[in-house]
Amino acid sequence: MPAYEDMTSRLTVRAAVAAFILILGCGSPRVARVEWPADGGPLAFLQDRTTTREDILLTLGVPSGQFEGERILTYLVWLDAKTNTVRVLPREYALDGTDPRVYALSPAVASLVLVFDARNVLQRHALVAGQLPE
């Protein structure tokens, strides 16, 4: 797994290059659910109706957000397709910080959303990211 400083510098470079290309209008990420990676990988352990909240907390750590009590948990993650790794990011490091009261999340960061049932088992989940148009 890459060191945090390597990751943040690559995140910054990636975001900067993406921003440069995006400003030119060569592509605009559009928020959408994504399947990553298609053949499993570090998130393959997430199985609806099987994985427990306990397993997820032990594997991913403290979520960046939670809603409706603890029924819905969200993680901000950095996806590295090259190394096939997922890195959980603290929210403070996933922000553009353009407005100190309403931060804008960086396009290089994806949002993992996990919904649990009353038995504390994962009911459904989604990975949401800014996708470049095909």
User: Which positions touch another protein (CB under 8 A)?
Assistant: 3-5, 19, 22-25, 28-33, 53-54, 57-68, 70-72, 74, 76, 88-93, 96, 98-99, 101-107, 109-111, 113, 115, 120, 124-126, 128-131
In angstroms, what is the minimal distance from the CB of 118 to another protein?
Answer: 11
User: Which residue, 32 or 50, has its beta carbon nearer to another protein?
Assistant: 32
Q: Which two tokens stand for residue 113?
A: 């959303």
Buried/exposed code over 32-61 (b: 16+ C-beta within 10 A; e: otherwise) = eeeebeeeeebbeebeeeebebebbeeebe
In angstroms, what is the minimal distance from the CB of 106 to another protein?
Answer: 7
d(CA 125, CA 123): 7
Q: What's phi and psi for 123, nearest 5 deg? A: -95, -45
User: Which residue, 81 or 98, has its beta carbon nearer to another protein?
Assistant: 98
> Which residue carries 């290059």 as its tokens?
17
In angstroms, what is the minimal distance from the CB of 1 to another protein?
Answer: 10
CB 46 within 8 A of CB 114: yes
In angstroms, what is the minimal distance from the CB of 85 to another protein?
Answer: 13
User: Which residue, 39 or 99, has its beta carbon nearer to another protein?
Assistant: 99
